[in-house]
Structure 1
Amino acid sequence: MDLNSSKFWFRIAMLVALSLELTTFGAMTKTVNANSNSYGIPQESEADSTAIRPFQVHIPELELTDLHRRILATRWPDKETVSDQTQGTQLATMKNLAHYWANDYDWRKFEAKLNALPMFVTNIDGEEIHFIHVRSKHEDAMPIILMHGWPGSIVEKLKVIDPLTNPTAYGGKASDAFDVVIPSMPGYGFSGKPTTTGWGPDRIARAYGELMNRLGYKKYVAQGGDWGAIIADVMGVQQPSGLIGIHTNLPFVVPSDLDMALQAGKGCPPGLTSEEKRACEQLDFFYKHAAYALMMGTRPQTLTGLADSPVGLAAFMLDHDAKSLELITKAFNGQPGGLSQDDVLDNITLYWLTNTPISSARLYWENKYPFFGIKGVKLPVAVSVFPDELYEAPKSWTQKAYPNLIYFNKLDKGGHFAAWEQPVLFVNELRNAFRLLR
Structure 2
Amino acid sequence: MAIQPFQINIPDEVLDDMRQRIANTRWPDEIPNTDWDYGSNMAYVRELADYWLNEFDWRKQEAMLNGFSQFRADVEGMGIHYIHERGKGPNPIPLVITHGWPSTFFEMYKIIPLLSDPASHGGNAEDAFDVIAPSMPSYGFSDRTTERGWSVSRVGDMWVSLMDVLGYDKFGAHGGDWGAGVTARLGYAHPDRMIGVHVTAVSATPHLDDDSPPLTDAEKEFHRARAQWREDEGAYGHIQGTKPQTLSYGLMDSPCRTGGMDSREVPRMVGLQRRCGERLYEGRAADEHHHLLGDADDKFVGANILRVAAAPLNMKKGEKITPPSAVARFPKDIGYPPREWAERVFNLQQWTEMPDGGHFAAMEKPEALVEDLRSFFRPLR
- TM-score, normalised on structure 1? 0.77
* Partner of residue 89 from structure 1, selected from 9, 29, 40: 40
Q: Deviations over 1:102-154 (max 9, x none)?
A: 00000000111111111000111111000000001212111100000110111
Task: Give the Cα–Cα distance (whole angstroms) in 2 for the partners of residues 193 and 317 of structure 1.
Answer: 18
Q: What pairs with 1:126-137 in structure 2 (closer than 5 Å)?
A: 126-137=77-88
Check 1:321–1:65 CA distance in 2 against 1; reply closer, same or farther (3 A cut).
closer
Task: Give the Cα–Cα distance (whole angstroms) in 1 for the partners of residues 281 and 61 of structure 2.
Answer: 27
Contact 2:181 2:313 in 1 (8 A): no
Q: What pairs with 1:16-415 in structure 2 (closer than 5 Å)?
A: 50-239=1-190, 242-252=193-203, 272-273=216-217, 275-288=218-231, 289-303=233-247, 304-309=249-254, 310-320=269-279, 323-324=282-283, 327=286, 336=294, 340=295, 342-348=296-302, 351=303, 356-357=304-305, 361-364=306-309, 367-369=310-312, 376-402=320-346, 404-415=347-358
Check 1:74–1:257 CA distance in 2 against 1; reply closer, same or farther (3 A cut).
farther
Check 1:391–1:368 CA distance in 2 against 1; reply closer, same or farther (3 A cut).
closer
**Count of residue pairs the alignment pairs up:** 360
Q: Deviations over 1:54-94 (max 9, x none)?
A: 00111110000000000010011112444332211111110
Deviation at 1:332, TM superposition (A): 5.1
Contact 2:89 2:128 in 1 (8 A): yes
Counterpart residue type for residue 413 of structure 1: D
Task: Give the Cα–Cα distance (whole angstroms) in 2 for the partners of residues 271 and 378 of structure 1.
Answer: 22
Larger Rg: 1
Counterpart residue type for residue 410 of structure 1: E
Does structure 1 residue 422 correspond to structure 2 residue 365?
yes
Check 1:373–1:313 CA distance in 2 against 1; reply closer, same or farther (3 A cut).
farther
Counterpart residue type for residue 29 of structure 2: D
Contact 2:285 2:357 in 1 (8 A): no
Identity of counterpart residues, as a percentage?
37
* Structure 1 unaligned blocks of 5 or more: 1-49, 259-269
- TM-score, normalised on structure 2? 0.88
Check 1:328–1:211 CA distance in 2 against 1; reply closer, same or farther (3 A cut).
farther
Task: Give the Cα–Cα distance (whole angstroms) in 2 for the partners of residues 322 and 132 of structure 1.
Answer: 26
- SS of equivalent to 1:320: helix
Counterpart residue type for residue 425 of structure 1: A
Q: Deviations over 1:266-313 (max 9, x none)?
A: xxxx9742x334423431222112111111111111122112251011
Check 1:414–1:372 CA distance in 2 against 1; reply closer, same or farther (3 A cut).
farther
Deviation at 1:253, TM superposition (A): 5.5
Contact 1:145 1:181 in 2 (8 A): yes
Check 1:322–1:131 CA distance in 2 against 1; reply closer, same or farther (3 A cut).
closer
Mean CA deviation greater in 382-391 or 80-89: 80-89
Task: Give the Cα–Cα distance (whole angstroms) in 1 for the partners of residues 101 and 77 of structure 2.
Answer: 23
- SS of equivalent to 1:392: coil
Mean CA deviation greater in 76-85 or 148-157: 76-85
Task: Give the Cα–Cα distance (whole angstroms) in 2 for the partners of residues 409 and 209 of structure 1.
Answer: 27
Provide the alpha-carbon RMSD of the alignment: 2.5
Deviation at 1:319, TM superposition (A): 2.3
Check 1:333–1:155 CA distance in 2 against 1; reply closer, same or farther (3 A cut).
closer
Task: Give the Cα–Cα distance (whole angstroms) in 1 for the partners of residues 154 and 44 of structure 2.
Answer: 37
Contact 1:279 1:394 in 2 (8 A): yes
Deviation at 1:436, TM superposition (A): 2.2
Check 1:328–1:204 CA distance in 2 against 1; reply closer, same or farther (3 A cut).
farther
- SS of equivalent to 1:387: coil
Check 1:394–1:321 CA distance in 2 against 1; reply closer, same or farther (3 A cut).
farther
Mean CA deviation greater in 93-102 or 307-316: 307-316
Contact 1:143 1:180 in 2 (8 A): yes
Check 1:371–1:76 CA distance in 2 against 1; reply closer, same or farther (3 A cut).
farther
Bigger helix share: 1
Task: Give the Cα–Cα distance (whole angstroms) in 2 for the partners of residues 333 and 396 of structure 1.
Answer: 33
Task: Give the Cα–Cα distance (whole angstroms) in 1 for the partners of residues 52 and 219 of structure 2.
Answer: 42
Q: Deviations over 1:309-353 (max 9, x none)?
A: 51011111122276426749966576x3xxx1x3123242xx3xx
Match of 1:432 in 2: 375
- SS of equivalent to 1:428: helix
Check 1:253–1:189 CA distance in 2 against 1; reply closer, same or farther (3 A cut).
closer
Mean CA deviation greater in 188-197 or 81-90: 81-90
Contact 2:199 2:328 in 1 (8 A): yes
Q: Deviations over 1:15-36 (max 9, x none)?
A: xxxxxxxxxxxxxxxxxxxxxx
Check 1:220–1:425 CA distance in 2 against 1; reply closer, same or farther (3 A cut).
same
Contact 1:252 1:371 in 2 (8 A): no
- SS of equivalent to 1:193: coil
Contact 2:2 2:73 in 1 (8 A): yes
Task: Give the Cα–Cα distance (whole angstroms) in 2 for the partners of residues 139 and 169 of structure 1.
Answer: 14
